[in-house]
Each structure stands twice: as structure tokens, then as C-alpha cells.
Structure 1
Amino acid sequence: MSSGIESVASARTRELFGHRPFLLFLLGRAFSSFSYQIGAVAIGWQVYALTHSVLALGLIGLVQFLPSAGLTFFAGHAADQFDRRRVTQACQGIEGTVALFLAWGGWGGWLNVAEIFAAVVVMGAARSFESPAVSALLPAVVPAGMLQKATAMSSSAFQTATILGPALGGLIYALSSAAPYAVMAAAWGVSAAMAGMLHVERPVMPKEPPTLKALFAGVGFVRRSQEILGTISLDLFAVILGGATALLPVYAHDILHTGPWGLGVLRGAPAMGALLVSGWMTHSPIASRVGMRMFQAVILYGVTTIVFGLSHFMWLSVAALFVMGAADMVSVVIRLSLVQLRTPDDMRGRVGAVNFLFINASNQLGEFESGFTAALFGTVPAVVLGGLGTVAVALLWMRLFPALRNVERLE
């Protein structure tokens, strides 16, 4: 019986890979993520090399978050009112142009911290429009009944890029500070081309002006759904508190005594764990107790954050980051699938914008929080306290959102 079930699952997986719209979507997401991850290493290492300031590392996250905080609701409205493929293409074109600017400045030797931060602001603004459009595209390119598998595959593409991007970015940066940005520009160009080749059938929606009611409709929808509100807010607070990745340049340089390549390995370790788990979830989606599994995964994420914070050994740090990535992927697949399945198509852009705002707040404000608390208390205490806070939030949310805890399966 089990072999029969596995053969059916394998056939469904092959069907999904053979579906041209989804394959184009997957490749485009992979190249875009690849660019972003190269930039995370190159920009972080260059800013720290220029400033030797943990607070400056935290500010990278803050300057990425601020434009997206102001533009997110307009971005969600745009994703619901306009061709999502064209929105995606335009954003990736802007990001590629900014990457070319950084490459030009790097080769010319005139690039400074202020100009890097200005470039990060523009990329953050473009990404705030790109993410809701890409997220809303996913259900339209997937055969019926295969969204959880598709979400896991899409996450696999992201994690593959997160493994290769930092490792390659660190290696290329060791040769030239400008070369990573040139690679980023090329990859964003490929991603934009993939988006242009997509052909997606979508019902024609009546155009709705960007009134306050229309812009914030996604917020009201999320607030009315305890399951969606619980899962998005759990990710927000858990990652804000447990966001140690902003301090990886400090760990690589001052604690583990490695270089740009070692930083790439550290940044790639969570993605390797996430990739293995997403591959497993593609083949064997979680069939029951999905709410409880998500809470367990977040608690494990917090515990391994503490282990990483205390580690002074490269192998232990890499292992802890690996498990952090694996645990986080379980939460990500459940959250993304739950949000997509509970949201009608005409609202997916605006709900996706709310989700993106929460993700950005968790990742980028988490970077700022890590840099700020590290400046106040020291790097190791900041990471350990963040891990403890993540565990505490997960336990509290289990009581505050029983409907989320009791979600049995994704349907």
C-alpha cells in the first residue's frame, strides 16, 4: 500500500515539473532569489569592511524595510489590479539596474556606504511590489490540488538559490567587490525574461481605484481570519527575536575567524537544511496536525538559535544554522499554503502584501534588532536572548491562537 501511495506521489510531482507555466515560474523565482542572496553577502560584507560597525549591519535591514513599509499596500493593490507578470518584470528590471550601478561604483572605486544604502532603499521599494505579485501568481500556475507540493518546490528553488548565492557571492567578492553585483544584474535579467514568457489565464477584474478601503482590504481580511493572523504574526515575532543572520559577518570575522568564503558557507547552511526539508515535503506533504507541527518547528528554531549564539566552533555553528533552516522551512510551507488556500484570487495580492510586510518586518527589522541589541549587550548575548524570545513567543501563541494550533490539514 505504501509503495502505491509513493508512486502516486512521484507521478504527481513529475506532473507538476512538466507543467510549463509552473516551470517558468520556478526558474524565474530561482534566478531572482539567487540575485538577492548574492547581494545579501556582498552588501553585508562590504558595509562591515567599510565601517566595522554592527549597528551599520543592522541599518541595512532597516533601510530595506522602510520603503516597503510605506509602499506595501499600494503594491498589493497593484498586484490585484494589473497584470502580475508585468509588475514582476518591471520590479526585476529596476533591481537589475541598481545592481549595475553598484557594479559600476565597485569597479570605479568610488562606492561608499551612503550610496550602498541608497541602492538598498531602491531595491527594497522594488521588492515590495515584486513579492505580492509573485506570491499571487503561484496558485494560477499550479494544477488543482497541488498547491502544498508547489509551495514546497517553490521554496526549494528559493533555498537552492540561498545555498548557491551566498557561497558564490562570497567567492566572487574575494576576487572583486564589483563582480557579485554584475552577476546579480544578469540573473535578474533572466528572471524578468521568464516572467514575460508566462501565460496565465485570469478572470478580468473590475478596476478599483486605490481608496483607503481598497488598499487596506487585505488587513481586514487577515484580521478576520484567526488562522492567517496567527501564522503571520507568529513568523513576525519569532524571526524578529531570532534573526541572527544579520550578525553573521561578525561571527565570521571576529568569533569564528574566517573570511568572505566562510561567511558564504554560514549563510548557505540554513538554506541547505531548508532545501532538504522542502524536498521531503514535496514528496511527502504534511497530512495531519499541521498547526502543531508549525509550533514545534518554531520552538526548534529558537533552541538552535541559542546553540548558534553560544558556539565558537565552525562545525557546530554550521550544524546549528542547518537545523534552524530545516525548522524554518516547515513553518514557511505551512504558512504560505495556509494563506493561499484561505484567500480568494481577487484578494491574493493585498493579502500577499500584508504577508510580505510581516515577513519584511521580521527579517529586516530582525536584522536591525540584532544589530541594535548586539551594540548594547554584545553579539553573543543578543543572539541567545533572541533565541529564548522565539521559544517564548511560540509557547504564548499556542495559547492565544488555538484555532491555528488545531489546524489538522491543509485542504
Structure 2
Amino acid sequence: MFPADHPFHIPAFRAYWLSRLTSTIALSAMAIIIGWQVYGIARDDMHLTIREATFALGMIGAAQFVPLFLLTPVVGLVADTFDRRWIVRATTALMAATTATLGILTALHALSLPALYLAAVAIGVGRAFAGPAYSALAPNLVPRESLPTAIAVSSIAWQVGAIAGPSLGGLLYAIHPDVAYGTSTGLLLLALAMIFLIPKVPQPAVQADHRPLQRVIDGFRYVRNNRLVLATITLDLFAVLLAGATALLPVFARDILHVGAQGLGLLAAGMGIGATTTALFFSFRPMKTNVGVKMLWAVMVFGAAILTFGVSQHFWLSLAALVVAGGADMVSVYVRSSLIQLHTPDAMRGRVSAVSQLTISASNELGEAESGLLGSLLGPVGAVVFGGVGAIVITLLWSRLFPELRLAKSFDPPEILETTPEHGVVQP
């Protein structure tokens, strides 16, 4: 079914892929459940207005972003120093315990906004350490020539989880909250079991004579000095930071489109549907030419689709707009991930992945806080429209500020093979 050099022929990568799939389903389901509960408590129990409840919803993103922001200098170094499998195992266990705790509080009718915010912080801590370890582990499992395909199929795991998670969470929560929380906890435990199936893999030797602080600085310096990597990371940061509409989906589902919890699950799955379709395509036909220009056009389409979602008053048009946005975002993710992984030496992948994760979290979780704040000022529709237009403007600006991105024809990297304590990277 798959070519001989496909990553799925490697047992360790299959276990990695299944772990990422099941954990993403669980966390995506949790995201939609927590958001729905926050908005419901704010509207029903605290009797807040739509704009006030929108702000409370956005603060969930801030609660996840703050620990990740504070931990970023540490987590990349950890991923480059310790066994990446054990980092993922520990953080997955933490997130499973958090999910189980929320389920118990819900069953006891003791759930509150502070408890939900605290759970968001715990999930943020777990993701802060797991993200760089996950990203840096994948290239250790496959040959270099298979890495773009591995990135595509790994993205499929994430996007399938993004489809199944919200829909599953909304459906199971409609049946009973206990069922939703129990399923999410079970999936995280399954993800934990899959990581235990991965044997020890080669990992760069720790530079014992290298000061930890300097190694952290080297990671940021590498991103700053590699303008192509810097362009891809920051374009995603600002575009999604402005156009991150997913945080406001509970508001649109309940008070604008009036489709309830089940409609919320479909809306939340919309971007994943488009993204998974695109990732499947790339897994069989990897992108090879004009990668930079294609990324720029993809972000433009993403902004236009988010703008359409913001002005739509019809459920199916809104869902279609999110599907298109997800497909466009997957093109951007595919190009960005491939360029970062292939243009970064293995000994620095943990630290560079941590920097990348920081910007991704800033665009997602901090974007949720920004959406909540703008939603409280402009209303939810105004906030989404503003973000869609902003993403288009940012893309046009980045195409001028970073000609390296426009000129990137393929993923072929320069021969960056090793790092040094003094300079972080050696160019041949």
C-alpha cells in the first residue's frame, strides 16, 4: 500500500504516529469541552453578557500560553539533553491526570472557572515540554530522505485528531460529561502506552562543556540568523495570532449561528477536515517546487477564509469557510515544518523546535486571548473580520520583508551538519 521508503514501514514511527493521533484526539476534545464549559458558566451561572463571556473564554488561551512562554528557554534545552521519549511519557501522564481531575469535578458538580483555568495552565505546562520533544523525536525515527513524508503523515495524525476530537467531544458531552472525560482520559493513557513501545533511538550527545544558558541562547540565535526559518516562523505567528477564530467558536455556535453543542463540534472539526485532506495529498505527493510562494498564497487564502467565516450568518457557509481555512493552513504548516526540520542540525532541533513552538502557541493560545479581548471590544464578528484582514496584510508585508521566502524553490537545505559552542552552527 505504501512505498518501500514510507515511514509507516518503521515500527517505532507507527507507535509515534498512533501516540500523536490518540493524544491529539483527547486534547482536541478537551479543548472544545473546556471552552463550552467556560462559556456556559460565564453565561448561565455568572450571567455575563456575550462580550464579557467572550473575554472569559479568551482567557483560557492566556492560561495555556503563559507557562509555555515562561518555560520556552528551558524546554528546548531539556529536549536536547534528556531522553525525548521520557519527556513525552511524563507530560502525557500529567495531561491524563488533569483530564481525569476535571472529570471528577464535573461529576461532583464542583467545577468552577478557577478550576478550568488551572487545568488550562497544567495542559500548557505539559504541552510546553511535550512539543519540542515530540518534534525533535520524529527525525530520529526515519531516514533523512523520508522526513518530508514523515512530517506530512505526522500532520495527518494531528489533523485527524483535530477532526475527530471536537466532534467526539461535543457528541460525548451531549450524551454525558462523564463519558466525554472518561474517553479523553482513556485516549491519553493509550497515547502513553504507544510511546512506551518506542525503543531507544540515537540522540545527539550532550555537550558537557557547554554552559546551559549559552545553549539556550544558541537556539534563539540560530533562528534569528537563518532568515528563511525566521520568516516561516514569524509569518505563522502574526497571521494566526490575528486570524485565530477557533477560540470564539462557542460564541458563534451558541449566540450567532444558534447550532448548540453538536453544531459546535462540526464547526471545530471544519478546519481539521480541510487540513487532513491536504495532508493526505502531501503524504502521497510531497510538495517539491516553489515552496515559499505556495506558503505565501496559502496564508492569503487562510485570511480570506477566516474573513468569510466572520461575516457569514449561515451554518454551512461558515463550515465551508473553516474547511478552506484548514486546507490553506495545512499548506503553511507543511512548508514551515519541512523547512525548519531540514534546515536545522539535529543537535539543535529541540531548541529550535521550542522557539517554533513558542511562536505557534503565541499564534494559537495567545491568539485566543487576543480574540477574547477584541471580541469584548468589537464583538465576536468584528474581531474575526479584523483578524482575517490582518492576516492578508501581514502576508503581503512579509513577502517584501523576507525575499528569501519568495525565492525558496524547494526544501533542499544547505549542508548544515554540526553545531559549535561558540557560534551554534557551522556552515561548510
TM-score computed with the length of structure 1 as normaliser: 0.96
Shift of 1:142: 1.4
Note the C-alpha offset of 1:210.
Answer: 6.3
Residue in structure 2 matching 1:24, options 4, 9, 15: 15
Deviations 1:172-201 (A, max 9, x none): 111222332222221111111111211212
Q: Secondary structure at the match of 1:146?
A: helix
- The answer on 1:241 being equivalent to 2:242 is yes
Which deviates the most, 301-310 or 143-152?
Answer: 143-152
Single out whichever of 325-334 and 363-372 deviates more from structure 2: 363-372
**CA separation of 1:394/1:274 partners in 2, compared to 1, >3 Å: closer, same or farther?**
same
Offset at residue 207 of structure 1 (A): 3.7
Contact 1:208–1:214 (Cα < 8 Å) also in 2: no
Between the two proteins, the alignment pairs up a number of residues equal to: 402
CA distance in 1, matches of 2:327, 2:187: 26
> Sequence identity, in percent?
42
| Structure 1, unaligned runs of 5 or more | 1-6
**Structure 1 stretch displaced more, 212-221 or 159-168:** 212-221
Cα separation, 1, equivalents of 2:122 and 2:210: 25
Write the mapping of 1:71-220 to structure 2, written as runs, cut at 5 A.
Answer: 71-199=71-199, 200-207=201-208, 211-220=212-221
Q: Contact 2:204–2:346 at 8 Å: present in 1 too? A: no
- Contact 2:156–2:279, Cα closer than 8 Å, also in 1: yes
Matched, 1:273 2:265: no
Per the normalisation by structure 2, the TM-score is 0.92
For residues 347 and 184 of structure 2, the distance between their equivalents in structure 1, rounded to whole angstroms, comes to 32
Q: What do the CA deviations read for 1:282-307 (whole angstroms, capped 9, x no partner)?
A: 11111110000000000000001110
Query: Is the CA contact 1:81–1:207 (under 8 Å) kept in the aligned structure 2?
Result: no
Cα distance in structure 2, aligned partners of 1:206 and 1:221: 17
Matched, 1:45 2:36: yes
Comparing 190-199 and 98-107, the one that deviates more: 190-199
1:216 counterpart SS class: helix
- Please report how far the alpha carbon of residue 332 of structure 1 lies from its aligned counterpart in structure 2 after TM superposition: 0.1
Equivalent position of 1:340 in the other structure: 341
Q: 2:416 — aligned with what?
A: none
**Structure 2, unaligned stretches of length 5 or more?**
44-52, 413-428
Verify the 8 A CA contact 2:204 2:347 in the aligned structure 1.
Answer: no
One-letter amino acid matched to 2:99: A
Contact 2:80 2:204 in 1 (8 A): no
Q: Tell me if structure 1 keeps the 8 A contact 2:248–2:372.
A: yes
How far is 1:16 from its partner? 2.1
CA deviation digits over 1:381-402, x for unaligned, max 9? 1111110000000000000000
2:425 match: none
Amino acid at match of 2:92: Q
Partner Cα distance (2:210, 2:190) in 1 = 33
Classify the secondary structure of the residue corresponding to 1:372: helix
Would you identify which runs of 4 or more consecutive aligned residues in structure 1 move more than 3 Å?
206-211
Aligned position for 1:11: 3
CA distance in 2, matches of 1:201, 1:383: 45
- 1:260 aligned to 2:261? yes
- Aligned-partner SS, 1:91: helix
Matched to 1:348, the amino acid is R
CA distance 1:353–1:28, change in 2 (3 Å)? same
Shift of 1:73: 1.5
Counterpart for residue 34 of structure 1? 25
Q: Distance in 1 between matches of 2:212 and 2:3?
A: 46
Matches of 2:182 and 2:73, distance apart in 1: 31
1:74–1:210 Cα contact (<8 Å) kept: no
User: What is the RMSD computed on CA atoms of the aligned residues?
Assistant: 1.3
SS at match of 2:392: helix
Q: Secondary structure at the match of 2:323?
A: helix
**Partners of 2:360 and 2:284 in 1: how far apart?**
26
* 1:150 partner amino acid: A
Q: Which amino acid aligns with 1:283?
A: F
